[in-house]
Amino acid sequence: MTSLRFRLLAVCALFLTLAAAFPAFAAESASVLEQSMSETLDLWRAGRYEQLFDRLAHRGRTSREAFVKKMADSAVRPACCWQKLENFKVLNEKQTEATVYATLGLEGTMISSDSSTREFKLTHEEGLWKMQLADVLSIAGVNGKKSRHSTKKVRSSSSHHH
């Protein structure tokens, strides 16, 4: 029994070593990218905006205080569980930048079951893959511009079926 467990650990260690050696090891990096996005969305869902701010790239002139205030003003947040992040695909990945495509399930929008399906740029900084600050504000609908995430949804989809 113990030898099997040891062998599994050895295989895991080997995979980790390989993953470190080859950043473009596709399946590995896809799950890392998805995991990073997922953790970022969890912080947002939990209302932990200070930590969320630290997990975002390209913060520009937005201060932590301003960001926390804007986010606290928005009712929009990621949905729970499997609806949070679906159809995840890596479109392009370089050393420090990746473009992914995903559907984010959202709560608190005007529509009961809304989602945002689009491309997201992720930037590798401080050992983490980070979502862009502007993307989060845009999805939360608090960047001053009209939020774009509801465009593809048929507004009154439920009324057609009855």
| CATH superfamily ID and name for 26-150 | NTF2-like; domain 1 (3.10.450.100)
Summarize pLDDT for 66-77 with one digit per residue, the tens. Answer: 999 999 999 999
Summarize pLDDT for 11-32 with one digit per residue, the tens. Answer: 555 555 555 555 455 677 889 9
Q: DSSP assignment of 72-84, as one string?
A: HH---EEPSGGGS
Can you give the residue ranges of every domain in the chain? 26-150
Res 17: pLDDT: 54
pTM: predicted TM-score of the whole model, two decimal places: 0.71
CA dist., res. 36 & res. 131, Å (int):
8
Query: Which two structure tokens, joined as six digits, stand for 24?
Result: 């473009």
Q: Is residue 148's pLDDT more than 80?
A: no
Q: Which residue has the tokens 């979502």?
A: 131
Summarize pLDDT for 81-138 with one digit per residue, the tens. Answer: 999 999 999 999 999 999 999 999 999 987 766 899 999 999 999 999 999 999 999 9
Residues 6+ apart with CB under 8 A from 30: 88, 90
Summarize pLDDT for 75-84 with one digit per residue, the tens. Answer: 999 999 999 9
- Report the candidate in 119, 120, 123 with the shortest Cα–Cα distance to residue 58: 123
